Amino acid sequence: MSSPPGIFAEAIAYIGVVLFAFGGITYSFLKWRRETSGTDLPAWRRTAACLGFLAVAVEAMLLLAFLLWHRISLDHQMLGLWATLIYPAFVVAVPLVLAGKGAPRWWLLSSSVIVFIVCFFMSLVP
């Protein structure tokens, strides 16, 4: 039995998008650690940027949990709980990430948006 013709291209594109999101989070964390030592940001912006990074990390962990633990997609109650956790993490992450400064802010923002879009479409799949 053969696979549909475009399934491999779609799988490669999906894997590429997910790897880009996780790579963006990793890159922004490494860059953020180097840049935070000598920044002149006010304390509230540094705190907000740290909380934004944590919110994006929560989004990534929820995506990873969905990818690794297939029971979430099979049980409608668990899928609903997962969806109610991913949406607030995104809503909290975006303004807090924007409080940061420099390249890590944009990498975290793009990673957060990509993870949210992937999670949104994954929650629609029956």
pLDDT digit of tens for each residue in the chain (126 aa)?
A: 566 777 787 788 888 888 888 888 888 888 877 776 556 778 888 888 889 889 999 988 888 888 888 777 777 788 788 888 888 999 999 999 888 888 888 888 898 999 898 888 877 776
- For residue 1, tell me if it sits in a domain: no
- For residue 2, tell me if it sits in a domain: no
Range of the domain at 13: 7-124
- For residue 101, tell me if it sits in a domain: yes
- For residue 22, tell me if it sits in a domain: yes
CA distance 62 to 120: 12
Q: Give the largest CA-CA distance in the chain.
A: 61
Rg of the chain's alpha carbons, rounded to an integer? 16
Handedness of CA 18, 63, 118, 92 (dihedral sign): negative
- For residue 79, tell me if it sits in a domain: yes
